[in-house]
Amino acid sequence: MKKKLISVVVPIFNEEMGIKKFLDKELFPVLERLPYQTEIVLVDDGSWDGTLEKIRAMNTKIPMRIVVFSKNFGKEIALTAGIFYAKGDAIVMIDADGQHPAEAIPRLVEKWENGAEVVTALRGQNTTRHRLGSRIYYRLLRMMGMRNFVPGELDFRLIDRAVADEFNKFTEHNRLTRGLINWLGFKQEYIKVETKGRIGGRPTYGFKKLMALAGDSMVSMSRTPLIIFGYIGIFITVVSVIFGLFILIQQYILGDPLGLDWSGAVAMSVFVSFLVGLVLISQAITALYIAQIHIETKNRPLFVVDKKRSVGVDGDER
Ligand code: UDP
Ligand code: MG
């Protein structure tokens, strides 16, 4: 019987400091000992340092494909491309910076052999600087209604072929791989791992980027902010129409029986707030159109592969 194939997907962006050490000292040895067929899918996410030269020069018996993006598309899209090109019966994704312990891959595979279809590594008990940040991040996601996130989940996980085939059908641009995989369901299992420090270079997902990610999720999840401004506009318009009519009738038609003696400036400011109300309403309507268009235009390709610089990539882009 042919041995099952395990694919390992590695998203890589400007990792020239540590990539060689990660592959040579951590990933290759683990995969060489694994009693399976293995392949590696490296996704170079538009690195502009010496990363690509370094990985092209790597030497290993394990079949290795290199998907080179035409520019930086972000880690989530890099993972997406890696999963798309991976051919394995199971697909493992792991960071290139050495923070995810490659030596835990056999444990992921073991859970899979015992029937799990998604095996996720959870951050163990060690105190890293990341922990507070990631707690805030998960709290934010939960507040925004994204409840299928388990705290401490890493992007270090294994998915079965069946899960990958379904994952490949997602077309949205604004995506979090773990959110989508959790959404798919299937039989989930977890293992605990201890994360490590980066081998070299600097992390690119700082606090700012995490906040932007959270903001993106919010905008793509809800149109509530736009609608609130629309309601404010309607309120202002209605109030100024009533007020304007009151001034018109009381002062100009009936000749000021209440003796208020309001100046033209009052009439003017009521008119101006009427206009502001109209502007807010029309903006909200425009925003609703844009939201629709935004949904419709999501079938742009998710990523662009630079085929000339890639290695072993023949599939179509999506
Ligand atoms: N990465 C990527 N594209 C990006 C940013 C990061 O492919 O635009 C890769 C990076 O090379 C690493 C992984 O994603 O393999 C995690 O990145 P990082 O260590 O910067 O994030 P963190 O560890 O803070 O989650
Ligand atoms: Mg990292």
* Domain residue ranges in the chain: 5-221, 224-298
Confidence of residue 116 (pLDDT cuts 50, 70, 90): very high
More confident residue, 69 or 98: 69
Span 273-301, mean pLDDT?
81
Is 69 a pocket residue for ligand 1 (Cβ < 6 Å)?
no
Span 6-29, mean pLDDT?
91
pLDDT of residue 318 exceeding 90 = no
Is 204 a pocket residue for ligand 1 (Cβ < 6 Å)?
yes
Span 245-255, mean pLDDT?
88
- What integer pLDDT is reported at residue 227 of this predicted model? 76
The DSSP code for 252 is I
Percent above pLDDT 90 for the chain: 35
- What integer pLDDT is reported at residue 127 of this predicted model? 47
Give dist(CA 95, CA 303) in Å, integer. Answer: 19
Specify the ligand 1 atom closest to the Cα of 206: 24
pLDDT of residue 317 exceeding 70 = no
The CATH code that applies to domain 5-221 is: 3.90.550.10
pLDDT of residue 161 exceeding 50 = yes
As beta bridge partners, residue 159 has 91, 118
Rg (CA), the chain: 27
Question: Taking a C-beta distance cutoff of 8 angstroms, is the pair 92, 106 a contact?
Answer: no
Specify the ligand 1 atom closest to the Cα of 155: 25
| Helices first, then strands: H and E counts in the chain | 11, 7
pLDDT of residue 242 exceeding 90 = yes
pLDDT of residue 39 exceeding 90 = yes
